[in-house]
Structure 1
Amino acid sequence: MRTESPSSINKITRPRMSDILPRERLFHILDHCLERPVTWIHGPGGSGKSTLVASYLDFRKLPSIWYQVDQGDADVATLFHYMRLAARKAAPQRGRPLPLFTPEYQPGAETFARRYFEKLFARLKPPYTLVLDDYHEVGPDSIFHEVVKYAFAEVPQGINIIVMSRTPPPPAMARLRAGKQMSFVGWDELRLTVEETTGIIQLHGRSGEWPEAFGKLHDRIGGWVAGLVLLLERGSVEELEQWLEGKRTQQEIFNYFAEELFNKTDPRIRDLLLKTSFMPAVLPRLAERLSENSDAAVILAELHNHSFFTEKRYDGEVIYRFHPLFREYLINKAETVYDRQHLAQIKASASDLLEESGRIEEAASLCIDTSDWSRLAGLIVRNAPTFLCQGRNRTVIEWVDRLPLPLLQGTPYLLFWSGASLFSSDPVESRSRFKKAFEIFRSQGDETGVFLSWCGVVDATIHTSEYALMPQWIEVLSEVLKEHPRYSSRDIEVRVALNQFNAVAFGLPNHRDINTIREQAFALLCTGEVSDANLFLSAGLHLAIHLIYQGDLARAAVIVDLIREPTKSKGANEFVLMMVKTVEAHYAFATCELEKCLEKAFEVLDLSVKSGIDIWAMHNHGHALAAALAKGDENIAGELTAKMSAGLTDCRRVDKAYYYWLMAWKFALQENFVQTRQFLELALEIGSRIGFVAPETAMMINMAETHLDLGNQREASLCLQKALPRVLSMDSAYLSLIYFLTESYLHMKEGNEPKEIDSLKKAFRLGALHRIENFYFWKPERMTRLCMKALEAGIEVEYVTALIRKRELWPTESPIHIERWPWPLKVYMLGSFRLVKDGKTLAFSGKVQKKPLEILKALIALGGEEKTEGQIADLLWPDSNGDTARNSFKVTLYRLRELVGAEKALQLREGRLFMDRRYFWVDAWAFESLLAQAQMQGEAGEETKAIGLTKNAISLYRGHFVAEDADKPWAVSLRKRLKSRFVLNVVALAGLYRKRNDDSRAMSCYLYGLEVDDLAEEIYQNLMECYLSAGLRAEAIKAFERCKKNLAIGLRVPPSPKTTALYEAALK
């Protein structure tokens, strides 16, 4: 890499003066001026501004950065580039280099400038002075003044800015002037006093040569330093007095004196002066080559020593600068001394030497002055890469715009680099120039140019979100690879491979070779072969997004980790940070880490405000809104919707489509399906135009779902038919999952349960395989219904239950009949009491937990419905007075909530406690729910379904309701009812089996009933009848004996006459 050129040294190096008269009068004025942050010194050329400030800094021993403003600073990236070098030189040990004003920062120039100067000033140890010399060189309409204004606004205590200009401050500084942040030193203060004039004459050793006419000459010159110095150099005053009798301008006076001096100078020195005047800053070694004068270094040193309008700077190498007035005179003089051809040769040689020494802007300026377009074209091609790295795109474009159109359009590398320069500011024109360059390169057989310009077209197309153009360029690459089967370098091969993936992933994800192309990109990123950091990050971003849409979250995680690596170092580039955090937000959404998605998105938005980089802002508002919608956080969603809506006018089309898609989702969650359809139509219109295939396909599936919500099954079916070929060709687990879920919804609407189940199996199989737990258009109620259906059918139970828990899919109407539902809390009350939390049985010991659990049991016995504090207190603390009972209730409820760990499960509202059934599965409730469903199916003639439901209900009854609390008043009624229903349904179910001549099942049913309740005489009776019917007399007798024994022990009663009669029948 090229080291910093003498040009940059000259631009940020303070002049060194010799034989200078210290102007104490002005020094005191400056002392006073520096009480304000900014001092503006303005006066005509030659009024001694630079000399004054340089000598002031020397005499006051003030450290400084001296910045030489020139026309190139109209591209403010130049200012930031050179100020970065100056800061590094001034404070080499203080932090990372200041940022370059690269294209991503340019839309937020104000924010960038404020932060830049804040960082710059933080590195400078007060007292410190920043000097801006020749400020007038930049035109009044340039953004340069706005940027410098922000520097003025950020000046801290102990730091001062001194500006030297031929003009007063431009209009951009009006507020600073009004706010009294500026001090001014004008021409009235800069004029030499008589005493100062005398001091300068004495300094030149001429005090004895000036007669009484000196006073008149001083008045005529008007205190102008340059005029006085020239007068002193000329030597004769008589002729001068006569010449000054007429009214003369300062420029006329200067030219007169300069001409006199020039004509008296040695011809070899004159030739050196004229030729080197085309260099704004003169290096002795270059002056020697340009003038072919081996004494150039000595001559320049003598000119400086004699104060011959030549200032000297030094920073590793001596550099000389002619005073601007003197240089202007010399350039005009050269135009008259040399003929046109010789002059052109001098300027061409000077341009080449300037470029060789790294002074590119000066070389380009000379080419433009002489209309040497071919030389300028070569300079641009050679130096554009460096300038673009520095963010100086505008400078390159300004040079290119100077070229004749035929030269530009016929030079492919000019088209290429101008395309690269326009990439951020005008990506459409950028793509056009890359395209023209590609066509010429291809016709010329320039392999490197062909591949680089093809990559440029792809990059610009992605930047403009015009993915629909990709297929043609993918095909073009196939043709080019046949023409150039071997790459000229591995770097070119890597770049093409990654851009080929980008083109295919965004514009043609169903390409026949997508898997091969993707694997190649994945391997290149993982093996560290991508040396270009920008290419690595952009390819990683695109690959991660592609893998997310593929549903390949495991490999997406690998890429996210890879591109995160460059951000781990302290002070990582803000643009890189924002890009990586954007991918992290998208990945977090895909993996259902919704809080993390919000966190990363808000970090990007915060960085956007701080840095002024807004390219990722709209997209991250979208990611944050998506996370809020998936979480069901209406407050955050509302705020983000407003922010996205406000940014809709100036955003990219892909961001606009994203906004409409999210708005459709928002309205779908509100069940405003007409608005949902309208926003989806807007999103699809943009999506189809730009050709971003994967999201567009997802939107098509969402539109099918919306039609189903609106009752339009035919339109829904057509949407799915249109989406299916895309889904299949892209082989995307993500798209396939949402397709099959929607197809299942369609079959449910059609009443086709077998097809509904089949689609559900396909969907959840993919979800389980790829651990997909979130997607756009997630609707909790619909997913809850689908998960219920899946568990009823035994589909991917582990995955579905995990999904329910993670997404908290608690249905409005509790599916109490589905024991496999992943209830946060499962309470077993039939038989021995058991409390299961998140699949784990809680162990209880001691009396501390007895009363809290009793509240829970009592609430269940009372149906979980609202009960007042007083009602529960009376049941559990019947012997305590009202206040004591209620206080005991509050303390015990608190302990119960601590025990179950789910505050929402037990809610206390306005003194009324109830159980939220979405959080509880209770076997007693499930038992009754299943029996109710069985009855409904039986009444509907669905006997088989009724039998299945009854069997499931009976299997839940593993003992009588809270047997250990049989004496509790709150338990008696429900225990009696449940026991009765159990016996009744055991008998009924066995009766149905007998009706079907299935005595074996009937006997098993009776026996299970007796295992649970060995005192149920009705079951004994029916069992004995079944045995007798089957001819099993001995079994009937055993059943009677068991009945007689258990009744005697348990109830101390004999068997009923009916039971005895059955026994007697068995004996016969």
Structure 2
Amino acid sequence: MRKWLEMVPADQRACNPWLSYWYGNTKLLSEPESAARHFKTAFRRFEAAGDSPGACLSLTGILDSIMYRNDSLAEVPHWLDVLQTWQQQGPCPVPGAAVRLDFTAFNLRFLACPGQYTPAQWQALAQRLEAAVFLLPDDTLRCLCASHLAMYYTWHPQPARLQLLADSVYKYAISDRVTPLARLIAYLVEITRRWVLAETEGTDAVIREALQVMADHGVYISRLWLLSAAIFYYLTRRDLDTAATLLEQFHEHVRPRHRNEEAHYHFLAGWLACLQGKLEQAHIHATTACSIIQKLHSPHFELLSHILLCLTLIRKERFDEARRRIGEAKALAAAIHARNMEVHHLGLLEAWIVWRQGRVGQALDHLRTALACGRELSLRVSPVQDPHLLAGLCALALEHGIEPDYVKHLIRWNDLPPPRDACLLSSWPMAVRIQTLGRFGLSVHGKHLSWQPASNKPLQLLQVLISFGGREVTDGRIEDILWPDAEADAAHRALITNVQRLRRLLGVHQAILHRDGRLGLNPHYCWVDAWALERNPQNDDPESLVPLLELYRGRFLRDVGAPPWVLPLRERLHNLILRHYGRLLLHLTETGRWQDLITLCHRGLQIDDLHEPFYQGLMLAHRQMGQYGEAVRVYQRCRDQLRNRLNASPGPQTRALFESLPLESG
């Protein structure tokens, strides 16, 4: 059609509004800026002639061209006013054009002028249009219109409604009943849904299919939209290599002088650099994105860029500047009714700043407000997130009982690794939790697994692996323990088989790492009480040792007996816990907390009733409290235990304490 129309002299095309209109249509997907000029020419002539159908169709083209050119939205308010003037004269006489006008105008008004309506007005309008989507007889039109609503439900998160829309149009992504552009729009809605709802299964395949359909049909107007959605997904899943590859493709296709595309590239590049720890690059990209986008009348994306800048400043520990930027971003978020950004996402950043500055009470207040908002809005992922920051705040929230159910969901949705200092949090939702101190126990996703050690080779493999440290253990070392009499090849085959059986038993494939002849547990998915015990306390306060003492319920793998492979770690852990008890015993003695000292020593005797310092602590505490008879009984118990089990006598310090008691007490 374009070739045929270009055979008509340009001045004659310009004089005929229908020729201008159709010529604009031929350029809409490939040259939207040029298309807009022809649509505007057509509209002026239709308007002058009082041709209502032609004017409506031309207005539809103008609004579509603004959307497809992916640049400044500065002229949107003018054309929406023009549309409103025409609608006051009566409904659009072209049914298909009327529907497209409604949805495109809704989308552009929301993107460029979100403050024109209240949240309630936006919601009422969205629900009215949503009801209309499912009644549309044309499948292509249904896909295009649904994409406009999907954008609204993404920016102002309503996951359930986004799910409904995506389900209604995804079938067209793999159908020939709609145009290639409509297929790609259906893919775009589906990828966005998967990102917003933190769904991972099958998403890689959906993204590959979408990019292949685009290449097969040459519909490149949607290229950057699809790439952007895919990069968002991979950045939130922390697949930085794939995100970087797609970002290179994105950058290759940014059109010269398209400021919105340039800003979008810098935003994505800044987010990637931030996750890579390249903070100076991240700051430069974020600053550039903010500088460009503020001139384009696109407040939602401007807000995203500001949040990225706030994050980079926080990562660089420029907290004063970050607080100022957060204030500006919250003002913008309030103006466009983006409560999810204002209260939840920016609130989390505020919580992090004051927490890092030691103002824990203020941090908890920010957390309560931000997480309550996230729960209310069913927020699963952040459009700009840092897993280290989010994991730390989740640990702080769990420690203080703030929105625990929602926080656990956040951790699972975002696949967050536990921070180092969260190793003692029993509430952190690790996929696999392994208890080795005292009685062996194993739970997966909170469900305890029953087992019979005599016949369960996979769990014996797990125990041996943990005994050797649980990380980077050579295959041969394990094979020598579990299959000492087997030939090397047979032992290795048995190891491979039982690694597979252990993975099936756990149901968490990523929990077991096996590569290059080395076996280990993935600390991202596995919590082991022995590992937690060996972590150094976060500070020098002896009171910080109490959670470590509570972990120790008995000697390492007590139930397996005393095979040589278990003894080194068993002794090391037992000596470690005795040192921790010793530090706390000394602290309680120096502070004169005698009743607490008695309680602690009784607990210690439950794990080692031959350790004399526990008896000494009890004798000292009872002596200081004037309970001399009780102190004597403690000494007698110590003497009997040592004599009956070790054929030994109490040491000099214990005897000295006994001799310090008044004579009548004995």
Superposition TM-score tier, normalisation by shorter sequence: 0.7 to 0.9
Identity %: 23
Task: Report the Cα offset of residue 828 of structure 1.
Answer: 1.5
Residue 518 in structure 1 maps to residue 116 in structure 2? no
Structure 1 spans left out of the alignment, 5+ residues: 1-74, 77-142, 145-393, 939-945
Task: Report the Cα offset of residue 984 of structure 1.
Answer: 4.8
2:601 to 1000, 1006, 1009: 1006
Partner of 1:429: 37
2:546 to 951, 959, 962: 951
1:402 to 1, 9, 12: 12
Task: Report the Cα offset of residue 661 of structure 1.
Answer: 2.7
CA contact (8 A) 1:605 1:620 kept: yes
Residue 828 in structure 1 maps to residue 446 in structure 2? no
Task: Report the Cα offset of residue 696 of structure 1.
Answer: 2.2
1:84-233 → structure 2 map (5 Å cutoff): 143=3
SS at match of 1:989: helix
Structure 2 spans left out of the alignment, 5+ residues: none
* Change in 2 beyond 3 A, CA 1:912/1:450: closer
Residue 719 in structure 1 maps to residue 314 in structure 2? no
2:335 to 726, 729, 744: 729
CA contact (8 A) 1:676 1:706 kept: yes
CA contact (8 A) 1:1037 1:1066 kept: no
Task: Report the Cα offset of residue 832 of structure 1.
Answer: 0.7
CA RMSD of aligned residues (A): 4.4
* Change in 2 beyond 3 A, CA 1:476/1:699: same
CA contact (8 A) 2:266 2:289 kept: yes
* Change in 2 beyond 3 A, CA 1:1008/1:811: closer
1:930-949 → structure 2 map (5 Å cutoff): 932-933=536-537, 936-938=539-541, 946-947=542-543, 949=544
2:528 to 915, 922, 930: 922
Residue 548 in structure 1 maps to residue 154 in structure 2? yes
Structure 2 letter corresponding to 1:849:
N
Structure 2 letter corresponding to 1:503:
L
CA contact (8 A) 1:1025 1:1062 kept: no
CA contact (8 A) 2:39 2:59 kept: no
* Change in 2 beyond 3 A, CA 1:981/1:500: same
Task: Report the Cα offset of residue 926 of structure 1.
Answer: 1.9
Residue 742 in structure 1 maps to residue 349 in structure 2? yes
Partner of 2:617: 1022
SS at match of 2:439: coil
1:613-632 → structure 2 map (5 Å cutoff): 613-632=219-238
Residue 774 in structure 1 maps to residue 381 in structure 2? yes
Structure 2 letter corresponding to 1:847:
A
CA contact (8 A) 2:392 2:419 kept: no
Q: Distance in 2 between matches of 1:986 and 1:516?
A: 63
1:627-706 → structure 2 map (5 Å cutoff): 627-633=233-239, 636-637=242-243, 639-649=245-255, 654-706=260-312
CA contact (8 A) 2:158 2:378 kept: no
Task: Report the Cα offset of residue 494 of structure 1.
Answer: 6.5
CA contact (8 A) 2:13 2:20 kept: no
Query: What does the per-residue CA deviation read over 1:225-273, in whole Å, with 9 as the maximum and x for residues that have no partner?
Result: xxxxxxxxxxxxxxxxxxxxxxxxxxxxxxxxxxxxxxxxxxxxxxxxx
CA contact (8 A) 2:412 2:429 kept: yes
1:844 to 451, 468, 472: 451
Of stretches 725-734 and 743-752 in structure 1, the one that deviates more from structure 2 is 743-752
* Change in 2 beyond 3 A, CA 1:521/1:972: closer
Q: Distance in 2 between matches of 1:957 and 1:705?
A: 39
SS at match of 1:731: coil
1:261-660 → structure 2 map (5 Å cutoff): 394=5, 402=12, 405=15, 426-430=34-38, 432-433=40-41, 436=44, 457-465=62-70, 466-474=72-80, 498-526=103-131, 531=136, 533=138, 536-564=142-170, 571-594=177-200, 596-633=202-239, 636-637=242-243, 639-649=245-255, 654-660=260-266
* Change in 2 beyond 3 A, CA 1:796/1:461: same
Q: Distance in 2 between matches of 1:805 and 1:696?
A: 29
Task: Report the Cα offset of residue 697 of structure 1.
Answer: 1.0
Structure 2 letter corresponding to 1:951:
V
Q: Distance in 1 between matches of 2:537 and 2:192?
A: 44
Q: Distance in 2 between matches of 1:897 and 1:951?
A: 38
Q: If the length of structure 1 is used for normalisation, what is the TM-score?
A: 0.53
Query: What does the per-residue CA deviation read over 1:982-1027, in whole Å, with 9 as the maximum and x for residues that have no partner?
Result: 3454454355446545444333323333344444443233224323
Q: Distance in 2 between matches of 1:1066 and 1:420?
A: 109
Task: Report the Cα offset of residue 403 of structure 1.
Answer: 7.6
Query: What does the per-residue CA deviation read over 1:582-601, in whole Å, with 9 as the maximum and x for residues that have no partner?
Result: 21122222223356444333
Task: Report the Cα offset of residue 544 of structure 1.
Answer: 0.5
Q: Distance in 2 between matches of 1:574 and 1:886?
A: 55
1:895 to 498, 514, 519: 498
Partner of 2:463: 857
Task: Report the Cα offset of residue 725 of structure 1.
Answer: 1.0
Task: Report the Cα offset of residue 952 of structure 1.
Answer: 0.9
Q: Distance in 2 between matches of 1:804 and 1:564?
A: 28
Partner of 2:584: 989
1:969 to 547, 557, 564: 564
* Change in 2 beyond 3 A, CA 1:438/1:1037: farther
Query: What does the per-residue CA deviation read over 1:755-806, in whole Å, with 9 as the maximum and x for residues that have no partner?
Result: 4444444444444444444344444444444444444444444444444445
CA contact (8 A) 1:740 1:759 kept: yes
Q: Distance in 1 between matches of 2:13 and 2:577?
A: 97
Of stretches 461-470 and 697-706 in structure 1, the one that deviates more from structure 2 is 461-470
Q: Distance in 1 between matches of 2:171 and 2:489?
A: 59
Query: What does the per-residue CA deviation read over 1:188-241, in whole Å, with 9 as the maximum and x for residues that have no partner?
Result: xxxxxxxxxxxxxxxxxxxxxxxxxxxxxxxxxxxxxxxxxxxxxxxxxxxxxx
Of stretches 917-926 and 470-479 in structure 1, the one that deviates more from structure 2 is 470-479
Query: What does the per-residue CA deviation read over 1:108-136, in whole Å, with 9 as the maximum and x for residues that have no partner?
Result: xxxxxxxxxxxxxxxxxxxxxxxxxxxxx
Q: If the length of structure 2 is used for normalisation, what is the TM-score?
A: 0.81
Q: Distance in 1 between matches of 2:480 and 2:101?
A: 80
Structure 1 letter corresponding to 2:306:
M
CA contact (8 A) 1:826 1:921 kept: yes
CA contact (8 A) 2:434 2:529 kept: yes
SS at match of 1:468: coil
Query: What does the per-residue CA deviation read over 1:330-357, in whole Å, with 9 as the maximum and x for residues that have no partner?
Result: xxxxxxxxxxxxxxxxxxxxxxxxxxxx
SS at match of 2:349: helix
Q: In the comparison of the two structures, how many residue pairs are matched?
A: 653
Larger gyration radius, structure 1 or structure 2: 1
SS at match of 1:615: helix
Q: Distance in 2 between matches of 1:580 and 1:868?
A: 48
CA contact (8 A) 1:1040 1:1063 kept: no
Q: Distance in 2 between matches of 1:831 and 1:895?
A: 25
Residue 960 in structure 1 maps to residue 544 in structure 2? no
Of stretches 763-772 and 716-725 in structure 1, the one that deviates more from structure 2 is 763-772
Q: Distance in 1 between matches of 2:512 and 2:23?
A: 68
Query: What does the per-residue CA deviation read over 1:161-181, in whole Å, with 9 as the maximum and x for residues that have no partner?
Result: xxxxxxxxxxxxxxxxxxxxx
Q: Distance in 2 between matches of 1:912 and 1:404?
A: 73
Task: Report the Cα offset of residue 698 of structure 1.
Answer: 0.5
